[in-house]
Amino acid sequence: MQFSVRTLVASSLVLLQMAAANSTCAAQEPEIVVEVDRQQVYEGESITYRITLNHVENPSPPQLSGFDRFQPESLGEKSLNSQQITIINGRRSEIIRRGQQYNYRLTPQEAGQFNIPAPTAEVNGQTLKGREVAIRVVAAAEQNVVLLEMKSSKASVYPMQDFTVSLTVAVRQLPGELSDRSPLSVQGSDPVSLSVPWLDDDQVPSDLVPKIAWDDVMNPLISRSAGGRGASDGMRVNNIGSQSAFSIFSRGAMVFLPPSVRTTRTNKDGDRVPYVEYTFEREFLPQASGTFSFGPVTMKGMFGTEISDGRLDGEQIFAVARAITVVARDTPLKGRPSNFSGGIGVFNVTASLTPASASVGDPMTLLLRVRGEGTLADIRPPDISGIPEVSQFFRTYEATESTSGSAREFTYSLRPLTADVQQFPAIPVSYFDVETEDYVTVSTVAIPVAIEPARQLAASDIVSQQVRSTDTRLEVSDAGIFANHTNLQDLRANNVSIGLWLVIWSGMLMFYGVASLGIVRYQRIHSDPQERRRRSAKSRAAESLKLAEQHQGAAKKECLDAMNHAVTGLIADFSRVSEAGMTSHDAATRLQAIGTDVSLQNRTTDFLETCDAARYGATEKSTSELLIECELLIGDLGRELEKLC
């Protein structure tokens, strides 16, 4: 009875909590919250547009209708079904969110002042409407100080056919006696800023694969030259480093200096003007057909324009290179063979048949393997039933398909229809070769087979088992079940013990009660995902540290990434926040909010910044030294966070 009362009380508490949660959600009306990061931009720049469906369970994505003046791009969505607990200066606060957050990048297509239309969403059969947001797009003024030119090596390609996008930044040469200096070296501690979407992997469409990762493109371009304090020769690109460990080199973003050449250009007045040209390039490989947009590209900052009274005067410049497009067209219909597999690239095909010997009607298995480089996932199984040499001698069944490494495999079931066949015929498969821009047909090799006629049974082959002479006849009695029994004692169990059954039943009930209590307690402890995350935080950090040790020496970047992940992951797991994008500043902020020791906060910040500096050779510490430091830091952090959280 004691167990029943406790269970009843626990169930009542759970029901009360659920009722309270439901009443809270019911009291809060669904809404659409619209936010932008800024309301004035230059033509070619983008804004971050956020739509939050609040107090909504299982929402559908919002509808962006009437956004013709913008180029919207989804940046993903984030669930707000979360419970966050923070402790600041000993005070505990709890934030509960219910809904979904959708993030977009909006690029205005024209200059002017207008409104971003209100988004709508369907929630429980009701249409919710957000608010309009006013925005001002400032057109770039005509000037000849900075010229941006963007082009592609090919205007149109086929999938799996690479092309190169390049950007030329032409900056007018400095005047007078400063003409031999770089025009990007006189900005002091405030370098000019360049925004190039296609240099950011996160802004590259999913069907377009860069052949080189963005950090491998940008790392060789880091500016190593510096003038005075905080001054360097180069430009900021995509604000890289403003919110990461790149900031250890300066208080702003990292500075990059691509290769440059000095040249002359003809201005609008027909005069030849000297410029310094800087070039960025990146190679891409489309995985599917479609139209891919690159840009717009923008550049802004202060540029030296004239010398007055022995002093260089500057002008604030904003320049734009409009977007260009590259079309990845579908394979041509003209000349497309009927056995075109859908593959684009270079492939070969092989086949195997098992068993090679069978009788008419016996099952056989054909394995067709297409191997090569290209759009492997798009390759369809050939219709072998349409090949006369196959359909005449074999019954075929629909193929199953799978991918294994660089091969696409199709498995067919077959049954021979006649013994008048000596081989399984060759199977032709066609693909499109982007190098020759033509269709290519390859075939398997014919497979010898030995098919025998199906065996027929003679009458003598059909035998039955002889019945013994023992009489085993079954008799049916109309008298019922008692017909063959004259004593009722034969139909009852005489050894049933009621006491034994009561003991067994009681034991089963007690076991059920104890097991139920244990299950409820286990679920209460382990059902909370945040609690599970906190409990496994130290083990996850240890795994990351072990991974860093494995990459030590052979893969420096992976080693540094693993150490960074070990520290930031430990902090994120204990403080119940997202680890993605956590910088050294974010880590210090979380540790301060939790109330950790100041010296431990400083150690963590210094270590994360040193790790990021090591990526670019800006520290003398080796990875082995950093590993030792990381192991000590993980131990101290784990003990401190476990105590406070």
* Domain extent at residue 54: 31-138
Any idea what the CATH number is for the domain that residue 429 is in? 2.60.40
- If 0-12 CB within 10 Å is exposed, 13-18 middle and 19+ buried, where does residue 75 land? middle
Q: What digits encode the pLDDT tens for the residues 494-539? A: 565 677 778 888 888 888 877 777 776 666 655 566 777 788 888 8
Residue 500 lies in a domain: no
State which of 281, 300, 328 marks the end of a domain. 328
* Residue 400: closest CA among 427, 373, 366: 366
Residue bearing tokens 């049974």? 457
81 and 46 housed in the same domain? yes
Spatial separation of the C-alpha atoms in residues 565 and 251, rounded to whole Å: 24
State which of 106, 138, 170 marks the end of a domain. 138
Most confident of 337-346, 497-506, 576-585: 337-346
224 and 79 housed in the same domain? no
Any idea what the CATH number is for the domain that residue 73 is in? 2.60.40.10
Residue 381 lies in a domain: yes
* Average pLDDT value for residue range 125-149: 89
Non-local (6+) Cβ contacts of 114 within 8 A are 69, 134, 135, 137
346 and 422 housed in the same domain? yes
163 and 130 housed in the same domain? no
Has residue 572 got a pLDDT over 60? yes
Residue 488 lies in a domain: no
Has residue 5 got a pLDDT over 60? no
164 and 90 housed in the same domain? no
CA dihedral 595, 600, 602, 605 (to 10 degrees): -90
pLDDT higher for 620 or 625?
625
Any idea what the CATH number is for the domain that residue 562 is in? 1.20.120
211 and 75 housed in the same domain? no
Residue 509 lies in a domain: no
Has residue 198 got a pLDDT over 50? yes
Task: Give the confidence band of 410 by pLDDT, cuts at 50, 70, 90.
Answer: very high
Distances (CA, A) of 402 to 193, 351, 368, 369, 427: 48, 15, 11, 10, 18
pLDDT higher for 300 or 90?
300
Range name among 2-11, 20-29, 413-422, 544-553 with the lowest pLDDT average:
2-11
Number of domains into which the chain is organized: 4
Residue 519 lies in a domain: no
Residue 166 lies in a domain: yes
177 and 319 housed in the same domain? yes
Backbone φ, ψ for residue 382 (5° rounding):
-60, 145
For position 19, what pLDDT does the model report?
45
CB-CB neighbours of 238 under 10 Å:
20
Residue 408 lies in a domain: yes
222 and 324 housed in the same domain? yes
Write down the mean pLDDT value for the chain: 82
Has residue 363 got a pLDDT over 90? yes
* Average pLDDT value for residue range 267-277: 89
For position 225, what pLDDT does the model report?
66
Residue 439 lies in a domain: yes
441 and 358 housed in the same domain? yes
Has residue 592 got a pLDDT over 80? yes
Range name among 137-151, 164-178, 568-582 with the lowest pLDDT average:
568-582
165 and 67 housed in the same domain? no
159 and 299 housed in the same domain? yes
202 and 261 housed in the same domain? yes
3-state helix, strand and coil shares in percent for the chain, rounded to the nearest 5: 30, 35, 35
Tokens of 349: 């095909």
State which of 418, 452, 486 marks the end of a domain. 452
Tokens of 627: 């590993």
pLDDT higher for 629 or 353?
353
